[in-house]
Amino acid sequence: MIRLTYASTAINEWSPEELLSLLKTCRTNNGAKNITGILLYSKGTFFQVLEGDEAAINNLYSVIEKDKRHTDVTVIEKQHITERAFPYWSMGFEKIDSKALSKMEGLNDFFEKDFTPAGFASHKQIIGPLLTHLRSRLIKQVTIDSHEELPMEHEDPYIRLLHRTIRIGVKFLALLMVIVIILGIVDVVYVIYQKIVQPPFLLMTINDMLEAFGGFLAVLIAIEIFLNITLYIRSDVIPVKLVVATALMAISRKVIVFDYKHLPPEYVSASALVLLALGVTYWLIQKKD
């Protein structure tokens, strides 16, 4: 994956309608190519970050570069990355006030007059703080917009109270999950202690180990469920990958401790099918990412 950052100068000042239409194009096209990023516009200057597969970014950049609506297209940074800075936005958008930008921490050397392709190119050290700042702004936006189904600002006070109650309930569940995790860890430690103090001293049989593995996996599943709950509080992103991973772990845990002598073959076959379906689902999600 690569991240390409460039700036350019608009031929004419862009109206909000024109910007909106460009944003729509970006979101449709980039979403289909798994390209994410952010587009900034201020007083005739564009600043865009594109993240994704190298070939896809290079192809898109060669299209953008030829777009007659802007000129002076200047690459500021192009680097290989392992993680996206803007994973949730096929194209986030900020109509930025460049004066306000220069007041931000780490951007003090950056002046309003520098908000041009040449300004960005000669102040490459500001790109890091700028991306961090934009990312946190967008994350805040996602958090505020999140859970439209549970808005904190509903016009009906009764519904507002119900939504608030559900949110508190989710937080309480997260707290309970932490307690379960701690108890689970204590249980694993206790099981291992019991097994090693029993004769033969300091030795664990295969069955003892399987029992301990079951305990370990139960704790890991509890941690995954905790992450699901906290993700639910934090954003509107449905953690599908995490949910599937949790289900995979839960079923794997069962398989590890299966007692094949006493289980009916149909049960084992059905479990194998579920495991296969979850495995394929996880692989497909991973591939899409």
Ligand X SMILES: Cc1cc2nc3c(=O)[nH]c(=O)nc-3n(C[C@H](O)[C@H](O)[C@H](O)COP(=O)(O)O)c2cc1C
CB of 75 to ligand X, least distance (A): 13
Q: Kindly list the residues in this chain that would bind ligand X in the complex (CB under 6 A).
A: 8, 22, 25-26, 29-30, 46, 48, 60, 63-64, 67, 69-70, 91
CB of 72 to ligand X, least distance (A): 11
Nearer to ligand X, 74 or 252 (CB): 74
Nearer to ligand X, 6 or 226 (CB): 6
DSSP symbols for the chain? -EEEEEEEEESSPPPHHHHHHHHHHHHHHHHHTT-EEEEEEETTEEEEEEEE-HHHHHHHHHHHHT-TTEEEEEEEEEEE-SS-SSTT-SSEEEE--HHHHHTSTT-TT--GGG-SHHHHHHTGGGHHHHHHHHHHHHHHHHHHH--TTS-SS-SSHHHHHHHHHHHHHHHHHHHHHHHHHHHHHHHHHHHHHHHHHSSSTT---HHHHHHHHHHHHHHHHHHHHHHHHHHHHH-S---HHHHHHHHHHHHHHHHHT--TTTS-HHHHHHHHHHHHHHHHHHHHHHHH-
Nearer to ligand X, 26 or 134 (CB): 26
CB of 140 to ligand X, least distance (A): 23
CB of 90 to ligand X, least distance (A): 9
CB of 67 to ligand X, least distance (A): 3
CB of 106 to ligand X, least distance (A): 25
Nearer to ligand X, 63 or 202 (CB): 63
Nearer to ligand X, 51 or 114 (CB): 51
Nearer to ligand X, 81 or 183 (CB): 81
